[in-house]
C-alpha cells in the first residue's frame, strides 16, 4: 500500500480508499505506481500514476550525458463539480496561503521587545538605537529642586502629615527614642528630612514615601461632639468621618489615609461651621489670632435684649488676659418659630469661649450658639447637622488661604 501525503486543503483520509500496485514488478526498486482512488461520494474510481524521484546521479552518469528525470508529485484536490481529480501543481489557495503566511516567530519578537530597554540603556548616546531619556544638567536639576520639588521638612511635621499622630505627640515620640532616620536614632524634632529619600521608622513601622494628599472639609458640627479625641466618653467630631475613611482605600488605592483634625475648636455645646483637614500649615494659619480672620456667630439668649446690653457687648471684655472687642453686634429681628432673641456677633480674636464671655459680661445668658461664617466662607444652608462637604480652592481662598 502506498501512502499519499495530505495537504491542508485535502479531504479526510477516512473517506478515501487508495489501492496501489507496481506497473513494472520485474524491476526493483519500484519507481512508478499505478494508484486507484475512490470515495463514498463518487462511484467511478480515479486512477493515476505516481513516479518517485530517481536516485542521485553519480559522476559517471553525469559524464555519460544521462539526464536527471523530473520529480512528479500528484496533488489530489476536489474540483468545483465536487469530484476528485489529480493535478501536478499545488492548488492556488495553498500558494496564496503560503505567500501570506508570516515566517517570524512571535515569541522571539516579544523577547526582542523585552530586551530592547536593556540594549538601549547599555548603548552609547551616539548610537541611533538609543531611546533613553536625556540626562539633565546640574543647573536644570537645581532649578527643579528649588522651584518645584518640596523642600525637606521638620521630622515632627512629616510624622504628623503621615498620620502617625499630632505634631506635639510626634515630638514626644521623637524625644522618647522611638523614631529612626536612615537606621540612626533621632531625638531632635527639628531635623529636616525628605520622606521620598529618607527611611523613617516609628515603633518599628516604616513611614510610607508617598504622603496622603491634602484634604479640606466644612462640617456642620452638631451639639454634643468635641473637637479633640482625648476623652473616650464623649463623641469626637472626627468620628463623623468614619464612613469617609472606611471607603478611602477603594477610592484611593495605594495612598495612605489622611489623619484628620479640626481647625480651631468649638465647645461641646456650640454648633455650626468647623473646618476639618490634615494640613497643619492651613490649620495654623486659620486658627492663629494673628490672622484676624472674622468669624460670625448667631447667639440665642434668654430674656429680652435692650440697648444697654448691646453697648456692653460692643465694648468687649477680658478673655484669657486679653481685651477682646467684637467687630460688630446686631440684634436680629424675631421670628415666629423662634421666640427667643438672637444676636449676630462677629469676632476675629478666636479666643476660647470668647463669644460666651462677651455675652455673659453683658448680663445675658446664652441659650444656644452657632457659628455660620469663617472669613468669606459661609456655612451652606442645605448642609445638615453632622454632614460635611469638601472645600474648593475658591472657598479656601475666601478664608484667606493660598496653597
| DSSP secondary structure, 295-328, as one string | EEEEEEEES---HHHHHHHHH-EEETTEEE--SE
Distance of CA 67 to the CA centre of its chain: 77
Q: What are phi and psi of 300, to 5 degrees?
A: -100, 125
d(CA 123, CA 327): 71
d(CA 140, CA 398): 36
Task: Decide if 377 contacts 286 (C-beta within 8 A).
Answer: no
Grid cell locating 40: 463514498
Catalytically annotated residue among 267, 279, 281, 304: 267
Task: Place domain 294-374 in its CATH homologous superfamily.
Answer: Alpha-L RNA-binding motif (3.30.70.1560)
The SS3 assignment for 243 reads helix
**HSE-CB for 262 with a 13 A CA cutoff:** 22
Q: In what order do the strands lie in the sheet with 179-181?
A: 184-185, 179-181, 200-202, 205-206
**What is the CATH T-level fold of the domain 153-206, as seen in this structure?**
3.10.290
Enumerate the CATH 3.10.290.10 domain ranges in the chain, comma separated: 153-206
Is 304 known to be catalytic? Answer: no
d(CA 340, CA 299): 10
Enumerate the CATH 3.30.70.580 domain ranges in the chain, comma separated: 213-291+378-403
**What is the CATH T-level fold of the domain 213-291+378-403, as seen in this structure?**
Alpha-Beta Plaits (3.30.70)
Enumerate the CATH 3.30.70.1560 domain ranges in the chain, comma separated: 294-374
Question: Looking at the DSSP assignment, which residues form a beta bridge with residue 341?
Answer: 301
Question: Looking at the DSSP assignment, which residues form a beta bridge with residue 366?
Answer: 301
* Predicted confidence pLDDT, tens digits, the chain (403 residues): 444 444 433 333 333 444 444 444 444 444 566 666 665 555 566 666 666 555 555 555 445 544 545 555 677 777 777 777 777 777 777 777 777 776 656 555 554 545 544 444 444 444 444 455 567 787 777 776 666 667 788 898 888 888 787 788 888 899 999 999 998 898 888 889 988 888 999 988 888 888 888 999 999 999 999 987 655 667 889 999 999 999 998 888 888 888 898 988 899 999 999 999 988 888 888 887 777 889 999 999 998 999 999 999 999 999 888 898 999 999 999 888 888 999 999 998 878 889 999 999 999 999 999 999 999 999 999 999 999 999 999 999 888 887 6
Amino acid at each position: 500500500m502506498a501512502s499519499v501525503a495530505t495537504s491542508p486543503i485535502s479531504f479526510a483520509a477516512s473517506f478515501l480508499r487508495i489501492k496501489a500496485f507496481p506497473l513494472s514488478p520485474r524491476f526493483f526498486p519500484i519507481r512508478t505506481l499505478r494508484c486507484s482512488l475512490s470515495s463514498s461520494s463518487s462511484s467511478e474510481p480515479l486512477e493515476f500514476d505516481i513516479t518517485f524521484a530517481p536516485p542521485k546521479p553519480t559522476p559517471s552518469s553525469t559524464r555519460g550525458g544521462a539526464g536527471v528525470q523530473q520529480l512528479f508529485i500528484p496533488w489530489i484536490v476536489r474540483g468545483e463539480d465536487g469530484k476528485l481529480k489529480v493535478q501536478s501543481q499545488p492548488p492556488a489557495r495553498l500558494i496564496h496561503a503560503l505567500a501570506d503566511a508570516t515566517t517570524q516567530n512571535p515569541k522571539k519578537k516579544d523577547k526582542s521587545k523585552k530586551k530592547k530597554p536593556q540594549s538601549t540603556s547599555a548603548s552609547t548616546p551616539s548610537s541611533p538605537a538609543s531611546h533613553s531619556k536625556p540626562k539633565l544638567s546640574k543647573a536644570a536639576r537645581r532649578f527643579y529642586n528649588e522651584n518645584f520639588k518640596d523642600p525637606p521638612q521638620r521630622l515632627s511635621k512629616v510624622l504628623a502629615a503621615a498620620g502617625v499622630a499630632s505634631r506635639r505627640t510626634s515630638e514626644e515620640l521623637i524625644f522618647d527614642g522611638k523614631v529612626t532616620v536612615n537606621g540612626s536614632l533621632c531625638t531632635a524634632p527639628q531635623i529636616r528630612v525628605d520622606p521620598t529619600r529618607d527611611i523613617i521608622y516609628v515603633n518599628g513601622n516604616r513611614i510610607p514615601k508617598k504622603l496622603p494628599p491634602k484634604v479640606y472639609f466644612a462640617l456642620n458640627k452638631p451639639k454634643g461632639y468635641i473637637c479633640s479625641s482625648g476623652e473616650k466618653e464623649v463623641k469626637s467630631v472626627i468620628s463623623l468621618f468614619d464612613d469617609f475613611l472606611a471607603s478611602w482605600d477603594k477610592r484611593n488605592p495605594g495612598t495612605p489615609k489622611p489623619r484628620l483634625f479640626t481647625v480651631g475648636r468649638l465647645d461641646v455645646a456650640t454648633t455650626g461651621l468647623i473646618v476639618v483637614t490634615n494640613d497643619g500649615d492651613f490649620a495654623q494659619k486659620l486658627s492663629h489670632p494673628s490672622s484676624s480672620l472674622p468669624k460670625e456667630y448667631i447667639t440665642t439668649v434668654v430674656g429680652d435684649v435692650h440697648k444697654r446690653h448691646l453697648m456692653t457687648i460692643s465694648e468687649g471684655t477680658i478673655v484669657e488676659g486679653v481685651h477682646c472687642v467684637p467687630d460688630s453686634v446686631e440684634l436680629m429681628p424675631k421670628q415666629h418659630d423662634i421666640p427667643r432673641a438672637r444676636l449676630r456677633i462677629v469676632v476675629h480674636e478666636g479666643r476660647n469661649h470668647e463669644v460666651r464671655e462677651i455675652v455673659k459680661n453683658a448680663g445675658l445668658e446664652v441659650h444656644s450658639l452657632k457659628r455660620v461664617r469663617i472669613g468669606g466662607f459661609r456655612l451652606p444652608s442645605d448642609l445638615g447637622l453632622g454632614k460635611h462637604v469638601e472645600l474648593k480652592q475658591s472657598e479656601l481662598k475666601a478664608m484667606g488661604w493660598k496653597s
